[in-house]
Amino acid sequence: MSGEYREADTQVKFIQHHFPEYFFESFYYRYTKRNDPKSGAGFATLEIVIALALTILGVSSATIICFNAQSLMVDTELSQDALYKSQKTLEAARAAAKNDWSSVVSSISTDGIYTEELEISDVDEFLESITGKVSWQAEGQTRSVELTTEIADLDSALAQGSCDSEALGDWTAPTNVAIALSTTGPVTGVDVKDGIAYVTADGNSTQKDFFAINTASGSVLWSMNTGPGLKAVKVSGNYAYVANSSITAQLQVINLSAHSYIGYKLPGSSSGDTANTLNYYDHKIYLGIPKSAIEEFHIIDVTSSPNEVGKWEFDTGINAIYVSSGIAYVATPDNQELKMLDVHDPANISLIGGYDAVGGSGNGKSFARKGQRLFLGRTFGNDELYVLHIGDLSHGAVSSANINSSVNGLSTIGNLVFLATIDPLKEFQVWQVADDDSSFSFKSSLDLPAKATAIDCEGQTVYVTTEDPTHGLYIISSN
């Protein structure tokens, strides 16, 4: 066998081995048995076979490329569809928040091959982060897209006002101005909005118990008598909501323009059922009363006429309430000083957690919030000031401090925490929490003429009420 014939035969066998489905035995037979290796005819047949093999290779490669392109096209379409669903989820949440802020909750659902998730996280008192995540299975793998944005409860934020996010000036020696009020009972509460301090007093039925004070001039703009006395106040828009000492109207709604009010009696309440505290959030009043035969925690819708929409039995009195993003934080004299209620659906309230401070003495008394920090004040006994992290209360307090006094009220600007206490020499105190919340350090104090009862701030200024009606309100600032 000549060298040329052997080389051609080797090539044909190569093609036969690698492409048997496309090799015809007759070609090989004619090539090896009938063609003269010197004539060149066999090479023509070989060239046909090789050309056929190359053509098949080209067609196979093109088919693979086509299939890959088709797979990429399908995957792109699925991703685009998922992205659209994620955007739709966020827009639906944003629209729902405008109508009812507390109704927006984390959820998960399926739509065909897609799993759609809405994740809600609390950023601040009036700010939430919302994430729309859509996932699906493709080629044995989990694919997903997600979009994140933030939504703000502007109605509540603008209605109530707030302290600045960072403290300015030197709070080592704060200054104060005392505002005299024409009442005989202790001053009990303060809420400041747009430069006006709305103040309550718990006197008697013949004394004025509600005051509107210009914080710039210190002058009383107007005042009124609402009945036996008031315990606390929250302002939203053109209305002030006050906790009343009356057993016939535990909640009163004051029209700040008309200087008039209406009362609301808790269903089933009787003698001794007066209001202790309240909080306003998302068109609802969260009202707390002392231990009673009826429930101690009440949710009252004030969108139009006051109407109770939810209640919860604590079997103990309620000293303070703070509400944010569908969760109510309640300070009580129970062993567990802080209790948490899920109030997204007021008709179906549930207890979801709490915090029991170290040591058996001391009752939950007051709250303040800044970002993810929740400050808790207790009555006298062991440590009285705590910082906890919203959403992570199961791990307990991050740090605490011994105030050696009951903390009746709390407010905060940046890393500074302002306390209204019953300490006879330091009724107003300033403490600073470390950047990592690992510790508190005392900064300054003021000696006021009577026990401090409540506290609020707006901008860089702090407002404190005391039991002394002669100087019931103090306007305090850095030096």
How confident is the model over 48-86, as pLDDT tens digits?
555 555 555 554 544 444 444 445 555 788 888 888 888
CA 312, CA 204: separation in Å to the nearest integer? Answer: 30
**23 pLDDT exceeds 90?**
no
Residues 289-317 have a mean pLDDT of: 95
**185 pLDDT exceeds 70?**
yes
Rounded to two decimals, the pTM is 0.76
pLDDT at 144: 87
Cα 173 to Cα 344, 430, 460, 476, 477: the distances in Å are 43, 10, 15, 10, 9
Per-residue DSSP letter, 459: B
Residues 125-148 have a mean pLDDT of: 83
Confidence label for 38 from pLDDT (cuts 50, 70 and 90): very low
pLDDT at 264: 96
Four-residue CA torsion sign, 81, 86, 87, 89: positive
Burial of 294 (0-12, 13-18, 19+ CB in 10 A): middle
User: Closest by alpha carbon to 329, among 361, 297, 300?
Assistant: 297
Residues 279-301 have a mean pLDDT of: 95
Query: DSSP letters along 65-80, please?
Result: HHHHHHHHHHHHHHHH
Cα 338 to Cα 10, 243, 325: the distances in Å are 88, 21, 17
CB atoms within 10 A of CB 75: 13
CA 420, CA 380: separation in Å to the nearest integer? Answer: 13
pLDDT digits (tens, 9 = 90+) for 227-241: 889 999 999 999 999
For the chain, give the percent of residues with pLDDT over 70: 81
What residues form DSSP beta bridges with 350? 342
**30 pLDDT exceeds 50?**
no
CA 64, CA 333: separation in Å to the nearest integer? Answer: 73
pLDDT at 162: 74
Q: What are the structure tokens assigned to 477, written together?
A: 């600032």
pLDDT at 12: 47
Yes or no: say if 253 and 261 are a contact pair by the CB < 8 Å rule. Answer: yes
| Average pLDDT score, the chain | 84
Work out the end-to-end distance of the chain between its first and last CA atoms, rounded to an integer number of angstroms: 112
Confidence label for 157 from pLDDT (cuts 50, 70 and 90): low
Per-residue DSSP letter, 33: I
122: left (phi over 0), alpha (psi -120 to 50) or beta: beta
What residues does CATH 2.130.10.10 cover in the chain? 160-477
Q: What are the structure tokens assigned to 378, written together?
A: 């207790």
> What CATH superfamily is the domain 160-477?
YVTN repeat-like/Quinoprotein amine dehydrogenase (2.130.10.10)
Among 271-275, 374-378, 428-432, the minimum mean pLDDT is found in: 271-275
**388 pLDDT exceeds 70?**
yes
Residues 274-285 have a mean pLDDT of: 94
